[in-house]
Amino acid sequence: MLPASNRLRRSDDFRRAVRSGRRAARRAVVLHVLAEDGQAGPPLVGFVVNKAVGNAVLRNRVHRRLRAVLATRLADLPAGSLTVVRALPSSASASYDDLVTDVDGALRKLLKS
C-alpha cells in the first residue's frame, strides 16, 4: 500500500509533472517524473487510469497493481520528486510481472544520470 504521505493529490502537481517532467513509455505504462533540485520531502506518486483501460473493475485492478509496484520502489525515487504513472489500454491484459518489468524499465531510463 502506498503511504498517504507519498500520494500525489493536487491536480496542479499532476499537470506540472506531466508537462515539465521527463517521460518514459513502455508497453503498458507511461511514467512522468519531475525531479527538481533542492526539493525536500517525500517523493509523491499519482496514477492515471482512464476508461480506455476498461471497465471499473479492470481499472481498479490495474490501479491496485501499479500502486503495489510503486510502493516497493519509493526508495528509488528522488526526494521531493513528482511521479505520475499513466496506464495504457494494454495494462488491462498485462500480468503483475509485466507491469513490474515495464515500471522498472521506465524508472531505469528516467533515473539514470
We report the CATH number of the domain holding residue 10 as: 3.30.230.10
- Residues facing residue 60 across a β-bridge: none
Residue 39: per-residue pLDDT: 78
Model-level pTM? 0.93
Instruction: Give the strand pairing for 29-34 and 82-87.
Output: antiparallel
Neighbours of 26 (CB within 10 A): 21
Residue 95: per-residue pLDDT: 97
Count of domains for the chain: 1
- Model confidence over 39-98: pLDDT tens digits? 788 999 999 999 999 999 999 999 999 999 999 999 999 999 999 999 999 999 999 999
Residue corresponding to grid cell 528516467: 110
Residue 37: per-residue pLDDT: 75
Sign of the Cα pseudo-torsion (101, 104, 109, 113, in order): negative
What is the SS3 assignment for 17?
helix
Q: Which domain holds residue 48?
A: 4-111
